[in-house]
Structure 1
Amino acid sequence: MQAPRPGLIDALAIAICRPWVLFFTAALLLTPSSLLLAALNSGAAFLKIGTGARPAALGGAYTAVAGDVDAMYYNPGGLAHLTKRELGATHAEWLLGTRFDFIGFAQPTANGTFGVGVTRLATGGQEGRDANRQATSGFEAADTAYTVSYSRKLTGSRASSLGGNLKLLRSQIGPYSAQTVAVDLGAQHRFADKPLSLGASVLNIGRGLKFMDQSDPLPLTLSLGAAYRIAGPLNLALDVRRHVYDQRTDVGIGTEYAFLPRRRPGNHRAELPRGLHLYAVRSARERPTPQPWRPILNVGTPLLCWVKIHRQGIRLHRGQVPRRPLSS
């Protein structure tokens, strides 16, 4: 006997309860109004620094591609597609002795994938000044994020996954410090019948960091991404990221080509992807009219070093990103 078709109200209720609809509804509710945006700029700029040389070579277009330990930063929903435990580390040397480091570990289990990570941005010794601009003793500054991640595939589905991060953020400038808690949410879908994957994430949901009487909101970011494997080793990725409080939209387009085949039984060679990306920025913050799109093309050798340790071996990537002010 054929089951009766659901009525209009029942069909609407079923549609609303779909994970993708709930995800975008939550993202919409978390986006502040335009009046609030006009008065706010984000702090905790270290949360805008991406991890991994491969995502950097793709222009940050990693929301739909993420399926390794770096998914903690770009899209925690991608962690569910990890098939083996993975340890990853990133180190970058910036100007004036500033160092950026990340280390993360992810472990797939029968009940989903769990991950932990630490991100740290630290400056060298800085010269202090008092209220009269006279030199005082030096000081150091550091920002740290401690992350716990969880991701799993939806029941009955091998293609769709959801994930989240819980982050403890701590910022220290000399004797002063501030801390807060933030949450990331992510989703990913990989089509079984076509070489296409889609991803979405909402990053840095939480209260801002407050130093004394000044509080800055976290860099709330909404991301949508798509990736399409054109032919075998050639992959094309696209990301659109909205930095809510900074009133800025980024578009990243990246390609990668694996010169060697992926590792498989009997083959001891690993893939060596090379990347090319095009990056565009549009910003309306502190300007009467929106700024035109500014494309940035980046190809070359890196300042960023990324190490990934698998069960079967070690993979080393290097990458370079254009220097941009973190606050703009």
Structure 2
Amino acid sequence: MKITKMKYAFSIMVLAMMSVGLLYSQSGTSGGSFEKAGSTGSQFLKIGVGSRAMGMGGAFGGVSNDITALYYNPAGIARLGGTNLGVEYNEWFADMKHSFVGLSIPISTDYTLGVSVLMLDAGSMEITTIEQPEGTGSTFSVTDLAVGVTFAANITDQFSFGMTMKYIENNIFDLTASGFAFDAGTIYEAAIQGLKIGFAVSNLGGESDFTGQSLTVLYTNLDERDAGITSRPLNATLNSTPYSLPLSFRGGVSYDVMAGMADQSLVVAADFIHLSDNPEKFNMGAEYVWNNLFAVRGGYQMRYNEFGLTFGTGINFENESFRGSFDYAYADLGILGAANRIGFRFKF
């Protein structure tokens, strides 16, 4: 495969972004330190997507061969072929709803475009005040949104690169914080059949802060009021502290033990994840597919406070127009309960 000037420039840009992301992530915690825990916002970006991927414990950085590569490693969509559509739903703890929709379309033999939408809905909660601690009768909602546009390319027969630009928005009541971030990744298919290595940096962007009407308040001196002293309420504006995004660097490797077999596969995978606001994480998992029809998956997430074992299953189906898959995954969240994910993937 000929490396054109465009491919060369694109690969240099992606590698530069990944290098910058790695340098920034190194300024975070490491070696089990928790000193920066809770120091970033937009935490919904760290919730893994995909019933197939999460059934494998989230060890998908080196796999990334379905539409959820848009989340784990954008380079993965370069080799999907055809038009791919995925819809995922996650019943998260505390009645939160986590959803993902992804679409990829090849624009040439070597180039692919993708679009993704990631959303977390925490539902409605009752508004309370100092004067009405039991509730005012009104409610507010909390939602998070990320919309991404991805471009990926096959640089050679073995190397793929991808880059995503995404808009991120957080909403709490009438307060909104928004900004832009980038993801970048690469996948290398080794000379050993079935072996893949992937690297990705996610959420490389600036700081955001909340703005909105609720930051303007009417301040009343309660001590003077309780003492019977009449005073004029004062208008005040609350300051919103800017927050960073949860930058992460992911390195993954996968190997198909049954590579070369037409109707079966056994993929084992492992990911190392370096976070800017938490200690490193390790994910490992496996997937066995029988007769290109039925899949069983299992995984384990290490160095998480509550996360641990995961398992999942999937069924493939097809007709003359498309191929599809239905996937389910279960994840043990410890004292937080469990997460149940379902997803549909289609290839046209």
The TM-score with structure 2 as length reference comes to: 0.73
Contact 2:177 2:210 (C-alpha < 8 Å) held by counterparts: yes
Alignment of structure 1 residues 253-292 onto 2, 5 Å: 253-261=284-292, 271-281=293-303
Alpha-carbon distance between aligned partners in 2 of 1:54 and 1:300, rounded to the nearest angstrom: 7
SS of corresponding position for 1:215: coil
CA 1:112–1:300 in 2, change beyond 3 Å: closer, same or farther? Answer: closer
1:251 is matched with 282
Contact 2:316 2:324 (C-alpha < 8 Å) held by counterparts: no
Between the two proteins, the alignment pairs up a number of residues equal to 284
Deviates more, 1:127-136 or 1:141-150: 127-136
Alpha-carbon distance between aligned partners in 1 of 2:301 and 2:95, rounded to the nearest angstrom: 27
2:119 is matched with 120
Deviates more, 1:206-215 or 1:166-175: 206-215
Alignment of structure 1 residues 57-206 onto 2, 5 Å: 57-110=55-108, 112-132=111-131, 134=133, 135-136=135-136, 137-154=138-155, 157-206=156-205
| Aligned-residue offset at 1:178 | 0.9
AA in 1 matched with 2:271: D
CA 1:144–1:44 in 2, change beyond 3 Å: closer, same or farther? Answer: same
CA 1:78–1:138 in 2, change beyond 3 Å: closer, same or farther? Answer: same
Q: Tell me which of the two structures has the higher relative contact order, counting C-alpha pairs closer than 8 angstroms and 6 or more residues apart.
A: 2
Gaps of 5+ in 1: 1-16, 262-270, 284-293
1:33 is matched with 27
Percent identity between the two aligned chains:
26
| Aligned-residue offset at 1:21 | 6.8
Alpha-carbon distance between aligned partners in 1 of 2:319 and 2:199, rounded to the nearest angstrom: 26
Contact 1:225 1:240 (C-alpha < 8 Å) held by counterparts: yes
1:222 is matched with 249
Gaps of 5+ in 2: 1-10, 212-239, 260-264, 337-348
Deviates more, 1:229-238 or 1:180-189: 229-238
Alignment of structure 1 residues 281-320 onto 2, 5 Å: 281=303, 296-299=308-311, 312-320=322-330
Alpha-carbon distance between aligned partners in 2 of 1:231 and 1:32, rounded to the nearest angstrom: 37
Structure index of larger Rg: 2
Alpha-carbon distance between aligned partners in 2 of 1:218 and 1:27, rounded to the nearest angstrom: 12
The TM-score with structure 1 as length reference comes to: 0.78
SS of corresponding position for 1:84: coil
Contact 1:88 1:308 (C-alpha < 8 Å) held by counterparts: no
CA 1:273–1:297 in 2, change beyond 3 Å: closer, same or farther? Answer: same
Contact 1:147 1:167 (C-alpha < 8 Å) held by counterparts: yes
| Aligned-residue offset at 1:46 | 0.8
AA in 2 matched with 1:208: E
Alignment RMSD (CA, Å): 3.1
1:323 is matched with 333
Contact 1:238 1:252 (C-alpha < 8 Å) held by counterparts: yes
Contact 1:249 1:282 (C-alpha < 8 Å) held by counterparts: no
Alpha-carbon distance between aligned partners in 2 of 1:314 and 1:18, rounded to the nearest angstrom: 35
